Copies of this chain bind each other. A is one copy, B any other.
Amino acid sequence: MKTNRIEAFSDGVMAIIITIMVLELKAPHDPTPTSLVKMWPVFFAYVLSFVIIAIYWVNHHYLIHLVSHVDATILWANINLLFWISLLPWVTVYLGDNHALPFPVALYAAVSAAGGLSFFLLRASIARHHHHEPDFLRLYKKMLRKNLIAIFIYMVAMALAFIYTPLALMLIATPAAMYFLPERGLGFFVNGRSS
């Protein structure tokens, strides 16, 4: 199986996931600004998930772009990643509808951690075939650090949700923000090849 096929399917799935979340944004029956403001956890979760899926999409493309062919392990590592991303709309609703209570926040963090871990596994399955290519290795190391930090933050947020939920929410938003900060040679697209 060629790379462009797995890319097109993953693109399709991620485009749908990022879009269908809006179907779960229920409009309040009371058409007033105050009833909208009360929905802040719903909007917080929506914006956060939108940004997270966009980041997955950018990174996924960048990773797959380095690969020339796909074996069964990569294929299923990719489907595993899509599975966990597909659960994001659901935990987004769960978080928003329950007004950011401890357990839904922890579940959101857990699914995010599983997504981060799946991305790690996908990269590892690709690295098996490309460990001798300097281009891939350089990107691999850059991505690896951010990936591991993100998984770690999500796992801390998961535990913290039951202790102090607002901080856990802030932690959950951290990995997404991390990708916007310009870093010296660390940004996944801030280098010579992508611009």
Give A residues with C-beta under 8 Å from B: 1, 5, 8-9, 11-25, 27, 31-33, 36, 47, 50-51, 54, 57-58, 61-62, 69-72, 75-76, 79, 82-83, 86-87, 89-90, 93-94, 97-98, 101, 103-104, 107, 180, 187, 189-190, 194-195
Contacts and interface: CB of A to CB of B under 8 A. Distances in A.
Oligomeric state, in copies:
4
Majority secondary structure, A binding face:
helix
A88 B36 CA distance: 16
B16 A20 contact: yes
Contact of A22 (B27, B51, B87): B87
Contacts of A1: 58, 61-62, 189, 194
Contacts of A75: 58, 189
